[in-house]
Amino acid sequence: MNIQEILKEAIKKSASDIHLKVGMPPIIRKHGKLQKINASATKLTSEDMIKIMEIISQPKDQKSFEKGFDLDIAYSLPQVGRFRVSLTKQRGSTRIVFRLVNFKIPSISELQLPSLLEKIALKERGLILVTGATGSGKTSTLVSMLNHINHNKNKHILTLENPIEYLIRDYKSIITQREVGTDVQSFKMGLRSALRQDPDVLFIGELRDMESIEIALTASSTGHLVLASIHSTSAKDSITRILSEFPKEKQNYITTILAHNLKAIISLRLCKKKDKSGVVPATEILINNSRVQELILENRLFELESSMEEHAATYGSKTFNQSLFELLDKDLIDFEEAKKMSTNANEFKLKFSKKNTNDDFIL
């Protein structure tokens, strides 16, 4: 297979990424899982990789790569798609990863996410966090929320991403998308200049250190709406992660800003569908209110889950267990998958047994 055939086949199979490496057949990532592009695909040779590199890159890029620099470039294949391409060396040979840059942005409903996220996205100011493991759909969720703003409000939306995974077209809003490594040297430099560019909405691909968190909090407390992702497993862990980035003498100050400016934390876990047709997200949603604010300020984060359960009907908050029960009730996932995706399997089994009086499931 030549590179055009590989990319066409990958798109046909709804792959998000394509991995090319000497001694291996082309590998695609589909629904978060790695698999061979097809059963008949042959192993790639050094000559194959050289040909591919010559097709997708410019001579100046090739010279830079040969000097030992990693390479991040864009490649477009007419009538097929646009890709971000990462080239690296490993054990003396070339490794290439293609990522599809999506033109079609899925809506919140198409991602099977709660409609409450549409309301959350239209907040005027504050901090909205989306959290989850790698591949859980954080970027897709955030971009769908940004596009909801784009179609409903007249704003300047500025994004800082690494890499850009979706191209957002101007609709009612003005969109400025900046990519780390292409448009700006680093996240730090991009964040430092972001507030000088008159944004109404700031999207930060990932809060990865103290400085990025502090800039996000500052922006959210000065009239901007900030949407960002963070690697953690739940709302409680996200707050703990943020506070742990700061020295003790600064934590009270950061806690106060966070408690007063946080709007929501959406946590994602992808569950395998019962019919094996793909995945569906389980969502934990923490909506900030006076009770949540009090728990954050008093460092009683262990009470957040019970507060979410208590205020589910009033504010729309929900725990992972509540979300998993909803997916079970809709027959989208089976009990074993729900138990596996629960934060506490034993607690889930107990609540499930109380919730159901029939014996359809073996506990």
In 3-state terms, what secondary structure has residue 58? coil
- pTM as predicted: 0.83
pLDDT (tens digit per residue) in 98-124: 988 877 899 999 999 999 999 999 999
Nearest Cα neighbor of 193 from 210, 169, 176 is 176
pLDDT of residue 70: 86
Band (360; pLDDT cuts 50, 70, 90): low
Of the candidate ranges 64-78, 233-247, 303-317, the one whose mean pLDDT is the lowest: 64-78
CATH H-level superfamily of 116-355: P-loop containing nucleotide triphosphate hydrolases (3.40.50.300)
Phi, psi of 43 (to 5 degrees): -70, 145
pLDDT at 125 over 70: yes
Residues belonging to the chain: 363
User: CA dihedral in degrees (337, 341, 344, 345; nearest 10)?
Assistant: 10
Which CATH code, of 3.90.1150.10, 3.40.50.10480, 3.40.190.10, 3.30.450.90, is assigned to 3-101?
Answer: 3.30.450.90
Q: Where are the domains of the chain?
A: 3-101, 116-355
pLDDT of residue 356: 66
Residues 296, 289, 322, 108: is their CA dihedral positive or negative?
negative
Neighbours of 169 (CB within 10 A): 9
